[in-house]
Chain A
Amino acid sequence: GAVVSQHPSRVICKSGTSVKIECRSLDFQATTMFWYRQFPKQSLMLMATSNEGSKATYEQGVEKDKFLINHASLTLSTLTVTSAHPEDSSFYICSAIRGAVQGQPQHFGDGTRLSIL
């Protein structure tokens, strides 16, 4: 149980392209999902908290117009990297919480490796 699927697993595209990443909770409903970014040999940095039916909450320093988040259903959140540039290349990971928001482990997808040429 508690499976989170992320798609695609890898994207290589040209600078200026917009890229959409999907995060799905497969066997549970997720009111809240999270988007992280991870650089090589570094820890996970929270980018934003995605709430179903409402606007996402972005962490300080994360451009909301650059990283568009849509959480239109209880099982799907999407992250769109708009007009991507080489500095946006990174490993993007989503997570979701089953049930109550606090005091429950986040379950992670397998990440999306984004490479901007």
Chain B
Amino acid sequence: GESVGLHLPTLSVQEGDNSIINCAYSNSASDYFIWYKQESGKGPQFIIDIRSNMDKRQGQRVTVLLNKTVKHLSLQIAATQPGDSAVYFCAEEGSGYSTLTFGKGTMLLVSP
């Protein structure tokens, strides 16, 4: 079946650097995308979302980019902090559905 996947399982950055986490999706019918942050032993925490009629959305220190042509989603974190260390998941919702399909996740490690 179709699935959402990530290119990098682990990303190590220095504090203050900008981080980019990538996600490839294969379901062209998906029209809603979400990034979640999951810390060890906790549930996923909503970071930012984007609908398919947009290609960029900004939040506080985070930006999500959507490229529907190549079915690619990215999360940019500005001035990465040690508290940003976690596993990041992208998730997609298909048109007409309410269920989410999660990507494999990327571990972000931020060293001081």
Count of B residues near A, CB < 8 Å? Answer: 24
- Closest residue of chain B to A48 (Cβ to Cβ) is B99
* Contact between A111 and B42, CB atoms less than 8 A apart: yes
Chain B residues contacting A105 (CB-CB under 8 Å) are 34, 46, 49
Given contacts A44-B89, A103-B93, contact A111 B43 (CB under 8 A): yes
Chain A residues contacting B43 (CB-CB under 8 Å) are 4, 6, 93, 95, 108-111
Known: A6-B43, A44-B44, A93-B44. 10 other contacts (CB 8 A): A42-B105, A43-B102, A44-B102, A103-B31, A105-B34, A105-B46, A105-B49, A109-B43, A110-B42, A111-B43
Contact with A along B91-112 (1 / 0, CB 8 A): 0010011111111110000000
Chain B residues contacting A70 (CB-CB under 8 Å) are none
Within 8 A of A (CB), among B65-112: 89, 93, 96-105
12 contacts between A and B (CB under 8 A): A43-B103, A46-B100, A46-B101, A49-B98, A97-B98, A102-B98, A105-B46, A108-B36, A109-B43, A110-B43, A111-B42, A113-B41
